[in-house]
Amino acid sequence: MESVPLMQQQPVHQPRLAYSNNSSSKILTLPTVLTLSRVAAVPVLIFTFSVDSWWGRTATTSIFMAAAITDWLDGYIARKMKLCSAFGALLDPVADKLMVAATLVLLCSRPINVALFGQAPWLLNVPSIAIIGREITMSAVREWAASQNSKLSEAVAVNKLGKWKTATQMAALTILLATRDNSVGESGILVASGESGILVASGIIFLYVSAGLSVMSLAVYVEKIGKVLLK
């Protein structure tokens, strides 16, 4: 019996998906450029802070305020224009922490004598240590949570308490930078009096409120993580 030859099937060529390597373009999105500008502004802030003149104080305050605005703006643009990227998400908190930590260290390098609080060189050191310590701790906790599971990542997501902490922190640092003057006392401590003293005092109060909120938000995050781990 003669075998019937089998029909040879032509290979079906499925359309290949065209993958374009857009990694470089995704890195240099507008939000990421704004974030990078905050990182680049840190050494400029340090330089202007060291300038003992009115324009040095004005420039330092302007740089910090611009950084605070771009901190909100880059996130808004990323969400609105769908330009979110892994690199931007990683860099954004780093830029924020660099700017805040640098500003706190600079302010602590020039203690302030405020009539309302008296001469207390440690006045800015205490809240600054609390704020910087909290930021370092939360960075480590978030990195650990991200390597575990989604529930832990949700537990350390930014909450309203953290947003209030950021708002009071930015207000405090802006006031303290804007009211910084060159009236130096005998011990090298900046002297703030009159209306300037009242503004400086309000900035210090805001800074302590921010430090308190920092510690409280850290406690809330730790409590949430504990609940997830105990389930």
In a domain, 17, yes or no: no
Tell me what pLDDT residue 103 has: 95
According to the 3-state scheme, what is the secondary structure of the chain? CCCCCCCCCCCCCCCCCCCCCCHHHHHCCHHHHHHHHHHHHHHHHHHHHCCCCHHHHHHHHHHHHHHHHHHHHHHHHHHHCCCCCHHHHHHHHHHHHHHHHHHHHHHHCCCEEECCCEECCCCCHHHHHHHHHHHHHHHHHHHHHHCCCHHHHHHCCCCHHHHHHHHHHHHHHHHHHHCCCCCECCCCCEEECHHHHHHHHHHHHHHHHHHHHHHHHHHHHHHHHHHHHHC
Q: Are 53 and 99 part of one and the same domain?
A: yes
Strands 112-114 and 118-119: antiparallel
Is residue 117 within 8 A of residue 201, CB to CB? The reply is yes
Q: How many domains does the chain have?
A: 2
- pLDDT tens-digit profile of 140-160? 888 888 888 788 888 888 788
Q: Cβ(48)–Cβ(56) under 8 Å?
A: yes
Segment among 20-29, 50-59, 129-138 with least mean pLDDT: 20-29
Per-residue model confidence (pLDDT) at position 83: 79
Q: Note whether residue 21 is domain-resident.
A: no
- Domain-located, residue 201: yes
Domain-embedded: residue 220: yes
Q: Identify whether residues 74 and 179 lie together within a single domain.
A: no
Q: Are residues 86 and 182 in the same domain?
A: no
Of the pLDDT bands very low, low, confident and very high (cuts 50, 70, 90), residue 26 is low
Is 117 in the same domain as 224?
Answer: yes
Q: What is the percent of the chain with per-residue pLDDT over 70, rounded to a whole number?
A: 76
Label residue 32 by pLDDT band (50, 70, 90): confident
Of 50, 83, 110, the position where a domain reaches its end is 110
Claim to verify: residue 43 and residue 125 sit in the same structural domain: no
Question: Do 222 and 190 reside in the same domain of the chain?
Answer: yes
Residue 6 inside a domain? The answer is: no
Check residue 18 and give its pLDDT.
38
Q: How far apart are the first and last CA of the chain?
A: 72
In a domain, 15, yes or no: no
Domain assignment present for residue 3? The answer is: no
User: Of 92, 110, 128, at which residue does a domain stop?
Assistant: 110
Which residue from 106, 45, 47, 35 is spatially nearest to 77, judged by alpha carbons? 35
pLDDT of residue 54 exceeding 80, the answer is yes
The pLDDT-based confidence of 21 (bands split at 50, 70, 90) is: very low
Last residue of a domain, one of 69, 87, 110: 110
Amino acid making up residue 194: G
Residues 194 and 87 in one domain: no
**What pLDDT is recorded for position 152?**
80
Q: What is the pLDDT of residue 114?
A: 61
- Residues paired with residue 114 on neighbouring β-strands, in sequence order: 118, 192
Mean pLDDT rounded to a whole number for the chain: 79
So what's the pLDDT on residue 122?
80
Range of the domain at 36: 29-110
- Give yes or no: residues 224 and 174 share one domain: yes
What pLDDT, on the 0 to 100 scale, is given for residue 85?
77
pLDDT at 7 over 50: no
Indicate if 175 and 126 belong to the same structural domain. Answer: yes
Beta-carbon neighbour count of residue 225 at 10 Å? 18
pTM for this model (two decimals): 0.78
In a domain, 47, yes or no: yes
User: Who has greater pLDDT, 225 or 23?
Assistant: 225
Determine the pLDDT at residue 46. 95
Helices 160-178 and 86-108 pack at an angle, to 10 degrees, of 40
Query: Residue 226: what pLDDT?
Result: 86
pLDDT digits (tens, 9 = 90+) for 83-133: 777 777 778 888 999 999 999 999 988 876 665 555 667 888 999 999 999
